[in-house]
C-alpha cells in the first residue's frame, strides 16, 4: 500500500486516515485517482473542496457510509451516486441497532477497501454486468456461512470477533486467519468465474489445480471428515487448498494478493532486503516497476522470498510468531505464476472468452 501526502501541510498520511494528524484537515480516498486527497468544507451542502498545491481544486462528496464512520472513500464525481465504488458493492449490511455490529462491519469495511483498492490497481472489473456476468457483491450478516455463490460473497460478522477467530484458528490448525484473508479468498471464486471458467486458461488450470468438475459438496464433506492429505505442503499453499481445485485456486489467489500488497508496501517504505544486491530478472535498481502491472512473476518471487525471511526474523526478535508461516514449493510457485498470468491477461481475457460453460451452483465454505 502506498502512503500519501497531506495537501495542506505536507505530512505523510495513510490509506485509512479520515483526517491529517498534524493539521486536522479532512482526508478522503479518490478511487478514480487511487489517491488520498485533502479536503476543506465548501460551505455548500455536503460538498468539499480539495486542497492541492500543484493541481486545480476539485469538488467532492463523501460516501454516504462516512456518516456511519465506516468509510473514508469519496463518492464518484459523476453520475450522482451516494456511495463510493466499494460501498456500492454491499447488498446487505448488518442491523446497526444490534450491539457490536457497527464496529464489526467497520473492521470488515477496512479489509474490503484494501481488497477493492488492489482489484482497481490490477485493472480488474468489480462489476462485469456490462458483459452479461456478475457484479462482485457483499452480504455482511449475522448467522450466515462465509462463502461465495455466483458473485455474492457472504460474510459472517462473527469473524470480526478476534477471540472467536483465534479459537477457529486453533480448532482448524491454521497458521494464518484474517478478515482480509477471507475476503481475498472469496474474491478468488468470483474471478475464477470471470477469468478462468470457459476461457482458454481452463486446460492449464486443470493441469495445475486438478479437475474442477469433481463434485464440490462431496469433496468438502470428505475434506472435513478426513482432513488434508499428508503431503499437502508439497502441493498446496495451505491445508484447506486440498479440499477442491476451486479452493486451491481461491487460496492461491488470496496468497498472490497478499504477496503483491506486502511487496508494494515494502517498496513504499524502502524495506526490501534485496537492496543489498542486484536482483536478476528485475530491472531494479535502474527502474522501479509497478508491481501491479509491470513486474514479472520471476522478479516478484525474487523480491518476495528474501522479504519474508527477514520479516520472520524481525517477528522472532519481538517474540512474535512468524510473520509469514508458509512454504512455497515448486508446484505452488507454478500455481502462483498462473494466477499472475491470468490477472495480467484479465482485461483482454474478458473480451476473448471461448465457450460459455453452464453455471453450476457452488458454495464455498471459507476456512
Of 158-197, binders to Zn ion (CB under 5 A) are none
* Residue 299 or 339 with smaller CB distance to Zn ion: 339
Determine, following the binding rule CB under 5 A, whether residue 50 of this chain makes contact with Zn ion. Answer: no
Backbone φ, ψ for residue 141 (5° rounding): -150, 165
Count of chain residues binding Zn ion (CB under 5 A): 16
| 23 contacts 6 by C-beta, under 8 angstroms | yes
The dihedrals phi and psi of 325, each to the nearest 5 degrees, come to -90, 55
Which CB atom, from 168 or from 289, has the smaller least distance to Zn ion? 168
- CB-based contact 87:43 (threshold 8 Å): no
Are 55 and 66 in contact by the 8 Å Cβ rule? The answer is no
CA distance linking residue 92 with residue 206, whole number of Å: 34
Minimum distance of Zn ion from residue 363's CB (angstroms)? 9
Q: How many angstroms separate the CA atoms of 222 and 160, rounded?
A: 28
CB of 68 to Zn ion, least distance (A): 9
Nearer CB in complex with Zn ion: 22/33: 22
Q: Which of residues 8-47 bind Zn ion (CB under 5 A)?
A: 8-9, 11, 20, 22-23
For residues 301 and 299, give the distance between their C-alpha atoms in angstroms, rounded to a whole number: 5
Cβ closest to Zn ion, residue 20 vs residue 263: 20
Give φ, ψ of 13 to 5 degrees.
-130, 160
As measured in angstroms, the least distance from the Cβ of 8 to Zn ion is 5
In this complex, which beta carbon is closest to Zn ion, that of residue 87 or of residue 259? 87
Q: Among the candidate windows 154-162, 200-208, 230-238, 357-365, which touches Zn ion by CB under 5 A?
A: 357-365
| Window 311 to 340, contacts with Zn ion (CB under 5 A) | none
The CB-of-135 to Zn ion minimum distance in angstroms stands at: 16
- Between residues 206 and 365, which has the closer beta carbon with respect to Zn ion? 365
Q: Which stretch binds Zn ion (CB under 5 A): 80-88, 96-104, 133-141, 341-349?
A: 80-88
Which part of the chain contacts Zn ion (CB under 5 A), choosing from 51-59, 77-85, 138-146, 326-334? 77-85
Region of 151 please: left (phi>0), alpha (psi -120 to 50) or beta: left
Q: How far is the CB of 279 from Zn ion (least distance, A)?
A: 34
Joined grid coordinates for residue 97: 441497532
Q: At what angle do helices 202-209 and 245-268 cross, to 10 degrees?
A: 100
**Helix, strand, coil % (nearest 5) of the chain?**
45, 10, 45
Phi/psi for 12 (5° steps) reads -70, 130
Contact flags string 231-270 toward Zn ion, x per CB under 5 A:
----------------x--x--------------------
291 and 1 Cβ atoms separated by less than 8 Å = no
The closest alpha carbon to 332, from 291, 301, 286, 366, belongs to: 301
Would you say 6 or 259 has its CB closer to Zn ion? 6
Whole-number Å distance between alpha carbons of 52 and 230: 57
Vertex 17: Cα angle to 12 and 18 (nearest 5): 125
CB 274 to Zn ion: min, Å: 33
The span of 83-91, 266-274, 279-287, 332-340 binding Zn ion (CB under 5 A) equals: 83-91
Per-residue contact track with Zn ion, 57 to 76, x per CB under 5 A?
Answer: ------x-x-----x-x---
- Contacting residues toward Zn ion, per CB under 5 A: 6, 8-9, 11, 20, 22-23, 63, 65, 71, 73, 84, 87, 247, 250, 364
Amino acid at each position: 500500500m502506498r502512503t500519501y501526502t497531506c495537501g495542506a501541510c505536507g505530512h505523510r498520511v495513510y490509506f485509512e486516515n479520515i483526517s491529517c494528524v498534524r493539521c486536522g484537515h479532512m482526508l478522503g480516498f479518490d478511487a478514480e485517482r487511487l489517491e488520498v486527497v485533502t479536503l476543506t468544507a465548501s460551505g455548500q451542502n455536503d460538498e468539499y473542496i480539495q486542497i492541492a498545491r500543484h493541481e486545480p481544486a476539485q469538488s467532492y462528496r463523501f460516501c454516504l457510509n462516512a456518516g456511519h464512520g465506516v468509510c473514508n472513500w469519496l463518492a464518484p464525481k459523476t453520475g450522482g451516486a451516494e456511495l463510493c465504488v466499494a460501498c456500492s458493492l454491499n447488498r446487505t449490511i448488518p442491523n446497526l441497532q444490534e450491539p457490536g455490529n457497527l464496529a464489526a462491519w467497520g473492521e470488515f469495511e477496512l479489509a474490503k477497501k484494501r481488497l477493492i483498492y488492489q482489484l482497481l490497481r490490477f485493472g480488474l472489473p468489480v462489476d462485469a454486468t456490462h458483459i452479461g456476468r456478475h457484479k462482485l457483491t457483499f452480504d455482511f450478516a449475522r448467522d450466515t456461512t462465509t462463502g461465495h455463490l455466483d458473485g455474492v460473497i457472504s460474510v459472517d460478522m462473527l469473524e470480526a470477533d478476534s477471540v472467536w477467530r483465534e479459537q477457529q484458528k486453533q480448532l482448524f490448525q491454521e497458521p494464518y486467519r484474517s478478515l482480509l484473508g477471507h475476503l481475498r479468498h472469496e474474491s478468488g471464486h468470483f474471478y475464477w468465474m470471470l477469468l478462468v471458467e470457459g476461457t482458454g486458461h481452463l486446460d492449464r488450470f486443470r493441469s495445475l489445480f486438478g479437475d474442477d468438475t469433481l463434485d464440490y459438496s462431496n469433496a468438502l464433506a470428505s475434506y472435513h471428515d478426513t482432513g488434508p492429505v499428508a503431503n499437502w505442503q508439497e502441493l498446496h499453499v495451505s491445508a484447506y487448498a486440498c479440499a477442491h481445485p476451486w479452493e486451491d485456486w481461491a487460496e492461491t489467489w488470496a496468497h498472490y494478493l497478499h504477496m503483491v500488497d506486502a511487496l508494494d508496501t515494502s517498496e513504499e517504505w524502502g524495506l526490501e532486503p534485496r537492496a543489498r544486491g542486484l536482483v536478476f530478472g528485475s530491472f531494479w535498481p535502474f527502474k522501479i516497476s509497478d508491481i501491479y502491472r509491470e513486474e514479472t512473476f520471476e522478479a516478484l518471487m525474487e523480491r518476495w522470498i528474501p522479504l519474508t525471511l527477514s520479516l520472520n526474523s524481525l517477528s522472532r526478535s519481538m517474540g512474535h510468531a512468524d510473520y509469514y508461516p508458509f512454504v512455497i514449493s515448486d508446484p505452488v510457485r507454478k500455481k502462483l505464476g498462473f494466477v499472475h498470468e491470468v490477472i495480467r491477461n484479465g482485461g483482454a481475457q474478458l473480451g476473448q472468452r471461448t465457450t460459455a460453460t453452464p453455471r453450476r451452483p457452488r458454495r464455498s465454505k471459507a476456512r
